[in-house]
Amino acid sequence: MRGIVRLVGGCLLAGVLVAALMAPFVVGSGLAAGRVAATAASISPTSLDGETPLVTTVTDRNGAPIATVFDQYRLPLSAKQVPDTLKAAIISIEDRHFYTEHGVDPTAVLRALVNDIDGGPTQGGSTITQQLVKNYLINVVDRNDPAAQQADRADTLTRKIREARSAIELDQSTDKDDILTDYLNVVEFTGRVYGAAAAAQAYFGVSVDKLNLQQAALLAGMVNNPTLFDPYNHPEAALKRRNQVLDAMAGTGSVDRHTADETKQTPLGVVPGGPNVPASTCAGAAPDAGFLCQYALTYLTSAAGLSSDQLATGGYTVRTTLDPTVSQAAKDAVNANVPTTQDGVANTMAIVSPGSDRHEVLAMVANRNLGTDAGQGQTSSNIVSEVSDPFGAGSVFKIFTSAAAVESGKAELDTQLPNPSTGCFALSGRKCYTVHNDGDYPDPITLADGLATSPNTAFVGLETRVGMPAVLDMASRLGLRTTMKSNDEGKAPDTSSDDTQLNQPQSQYFLDKPSFTLGNSPVSPLELANVSATLMSDGTWCPPDPVQSLTDRFGHDVALHREACSQAVTPDVARTIVAGLGKDTTIGTSAQAARNARWTRPGIGKTGTTQTSESVAFVGGSGPYAVSSLVFADGSEPGELCPGPPVHLGNCGHGAFGGTAAAPPYFHALNELLG
């Protein structure tokens, strides 16, 4: 008797629920029907707003993919791409009345409810359209809202009525094949895999239109419970479920019984060690592409106004300026100079294309690779674009003093500069700053010879005569835009600190410090390369640009708001400095490295070495390439750099110099590129 009562009660409850779900189709004026209809009408359908997250693809300048960026690994799928085999498999196992029902299946709902209440195994009553509504809410609309996702899964009458009403409205407004395609796009598999197109690649390594019967059956079976039917973690359950799908297909006539039985004897056939899901960040790019990829995405947050989440879900195609030939040559050069896993030593190289309207970034590489495994020589920070070298570029900064002096009329290339072996240089109201030359130099020395041989006293003296404000301004104008806004630790100024080293930008902190021209402050390697590009472009500064174009998921161009170029210095000033930097590779501090590399091309160059040889630099350019090469201590216990190869930490007397450790990779790369 108790079982009969339970069954009758279950049937009554099921009937009420079916009536509520089907309220828009109820005909009649009975009081109960009216109340049920009123209950259903009071629960609004869900609005399925929002675009389905898609993978963003980052490419080089030729359109070859270099990285994928995503939150959900999902590839776009159109109705024409869905193979008939997959359609039949999904419909046979999930909703065999899909093409005849109206969004919900009253018979299935009634059967499932009665079975559940009667204590039988749980059965689903949801149509494909209802499943689309539920999955769309969980995986798209409420993707970043765990509480809302929990409500989307809740086993409540209100949720089921809302889901069903939404399914009915969707069925009335949308073609059946489009509903099925949307479902196959949004449904979740395992391992961050979403949608049938991505699943085909992840589990079988094929495009979705190439799925065979056994593959389509497995994917169709997984959607019911991706965790339980995971072919890698639960292969027996996955095989049993796949075979259930094949039986269902035979039952609907999608395949004949003989074919189904034969296919049931085949293995799962998934790719070994899968699912094969690509890396979801720029760390998955090739070793020579990660830093430029990351810089390009950061650039797009301002140039296109896109958040990191929008980039990870928008299905964009980002065509970068990366030149694969240039980038590989640069990567080979830095790795030959400092191996990837060399303890405590980083070598960066940035290559920018000079120009009057754009400065495209062709390569951003380091011996380190982008990633999180420090033991494998990886770093999670962009050491090429950021103000990453904490020790500075040394005498490279004499370029700024020279340019400011030429612009102000206080010096030309043939101007004789006082160059004592030791000098003490004072600014107004400040104790004089004592500096020494490292080696023997003529006194006086011309500005041109000074740029080539790099004495210290001549340039500190020139800097004090020109004035610190003009020199600091010149550094920013020529290209150190972000660098000069950072504090003396290379970070954003900390206004809560009482320490001027921390609370002031470099443009302010060095106003009373003549040591600036000796380059003892943090610097961005990319911005140093762009300084060279500015000078090689007749004084035209342009922002270092890493993106050629951006297109959305529909193939439409997205407008980029690029910062305008500006005339940093006059062409005459730029050409004067370029001429002055032309001696470095012939009689200057990089001449020996140039001879070792059999370098005979014209170009510009300037070396730099910090006082304790914890950082060395070379900034140069030839032909279509403006380059910076920096080698610096990047470990927790920085020390003196010793020349190599490989460059390493140690106690080696005078240590490495810009000409012995930073210039060789430059000549290596450009010899490869220019022949």
197-215 as b/e: b if 16+ CB within 10 A: bbbbbbbbeeebeebebbb
State the distance between the two ends of the chain, measured CA to CA, in whole angstroms: 95
pLDDT of 256-269, one tens digit each? Answer: 999 999 999 999 99
Distance CA 437, CA 520 (A): 16
- Residues 361 and 546: beta-carbon distance below 8 Å: yes
pTM exceeds cut of 0.75:
yes
Residue 472 token pair: 């600091």
493/505 Cα distance (integer angstroms): 6
Mean pLDDT of 627-647: 95
Residue 409 domain flag = yes
Question: For the chain, what is the largest distance between any 2 Cα atoms, rounded to a whole number of angstroms?
Answer: 115
Q: Residue with structure tokens 């900034």?
A: 619
For residue 514, being part of any structural domain is answered with: yes
pLDDT in tens, 45-97: 666 778 999 999 999 999 999 999 999 999 999 999 999 999 999 999 999 99
Region of 441 (left: φ > 0; alpha: ψ -120 to 50; beta: rest) is beta
In a domain, 190, yes or no: no
Is residue 450 situated within a structural domain?
A: yes
Tell me the pLDDT of the chain averaged across its residues.
92
| Residue 430 resides in a domain | yes
Does any domain span residue 152? Answer: no
Could you report the per-residue pLDDT of 198-251, keeping only the tens digit for each? Answer: 999 999 999 999 999 999 999 999 999 999 999 999 999 999 999 999 999 999
Q: How many domains does the chain have?
A: 1
| 428 occurs within a structural domain | yes
Q: What is the pLDDT of residue 429?
A: 74
Tell me, yes or no, whether 95 lies in a domain: no
**Which residue range is the domain that position 494 belongs to?**
395-522
